Amino acid sequence: MRLASARSYAVISVLAAIVTILIKTLAWRLTGSVGLLSDALESSINLIAALTAFWALGMAAKPADRAHSYGHSKAEYFSSGLESALIVVAACGIIWAAIGQLANPTPLQQVDLGLALSLVATGINAGVALLLMRAARRFRSITLRADAQHLLSDVWTSVGIVAAIGLVHLTGWSILDPLVAMAVAVQISITGFRLLSETANGLMDRSLPEQELRQLEALLQARKGSGIDFHALRTRVAGSRRFVALHVLVPGYWSVKQGHDYCEELEQEVAQLLDPCHVFTHLEPIEDPVSWQDGGLRWETEQS
């Protein structure tokens, strides 16, 4: 499946979350398993996160305006930030429920049917997670990536819960159910804090990933020479967009048109390399001793 926009994939995530919530809630009600309850709670987070992703992707797609000169792409970080916080809150709720079950363990009911329903929901999540991961790479969307990572985490925890409940059914050790629920809570908490860290990096205007930065540096190095050089390179990432700013040093005898045409050509090459990317260049004469004091290439990748 190849949809036209990142927001279309968020709709799929919303629909999948609704279906899996219904299935997992039914499985929990049939069995009374706190492990399956934790699974249903995590799917509830998936729904809230998917709805937030739908809003954030719509906001991020808006063009720049007078009040937001650099566009609205950072709206994606609201979605990933909210999702990470909800994951941690759900983990606390799961642990609370598991503690109660440890104090008063109860035998599980209709285990076979409950596990079958859980596996169906797990299959749906796995398919949607792989779809979202491909879309996240295609659109370079932190929102879709966060949603996909959470769904994949949900898949593995669901598999663990199903295995544990199967053991409870075979051995009669009811204590395994709340213990597995606690393990699930710890695992999804790790996912939540990882997403929170990624969100914080985005809000702090982190520069390009190292691989992309090296590609950009290689392009500029290949263009250097014959009286042309570069310095004051700055980059940042905001959601799916990349921003690059640099000073272009050219021979002082060039005409304004020559310098302008050269900068336009360079901007197009950088934009194609890092698509989608906004490129800003500042033209200077290479003979200027103020802008080019040491005669060497000065790379500045910190954010302004």
Please report which helix (H) or strand (E) contains residue 212, including its range: helix 210-223
Task: Report the share of the chain in percent with pLDDT over 70.
Answer: 93
Q: Which of 64, 75, 63, 86 is nearest to 143 (CA)?
A: 75
In a domain, residue 265? The reply is yes
Give me the chain's average pLDDT, please: 82
Residue-wise over 153-185: b if at least 16 C-beta within 10 A, else e?
A: bbbebbebbbebbeebbeeeebebbbbbbbbbb
Do 136 and 193 fall within a single domain? yes
In a domain, residue 1? The reply is no
Task: Report the share of the chain in percent with pLDDT over 90.
Answer: 29
User: Is the pTM here over 0.85, yes or no?
Assistant: no
**Residue 252: other Cβ atoms inside 10 A:** 12
Asked whether residue 150 carries a pLDDT value surpassing 90, the answer given is: no
Q: What are the tens digits of pLDDT across the range 63-98? A: 878 888 777 777 777 777 877 787 787 778 778 777
In a domain, residue 293? The reply is no
Q: Which of 187, 190, 201 is nearest to 237 (CA)?
A: 201
**Domain containing 187 — which CATH number?**
1.20.1510.10
Do 102 and 184 fall within a single domain? yes
Contact present, 76 and 198 (Cβ < 8 Å): no
Residue 225 belongs to domain spanning: 210-285
Q: 106 vs 57, which has greater pLDDT? A: 57
Please tell me the least confidently modeled range out of 97-101, 126-130, 287-291.
Answer: 287-291
Q: What are the tens digits of pLDDT across the range 259-285? A: 999 999 999 999 999 877 889 999 999
**Domain containing 227 — which CATH number?**
3.30.70.1350
- pLDDT at res. 14: 92
Which tokens in the block code for residue 276? 């989608």
Spatial distance between the Cα atoms of 165 and 168, rounded to a whole number of angstroms:
5
Spatial distance between the Cα atoms of 102 and 174, rounded to a whole number of angstroms:
9
Q: 225 vs 178, which has greater pLDDT? A: 225
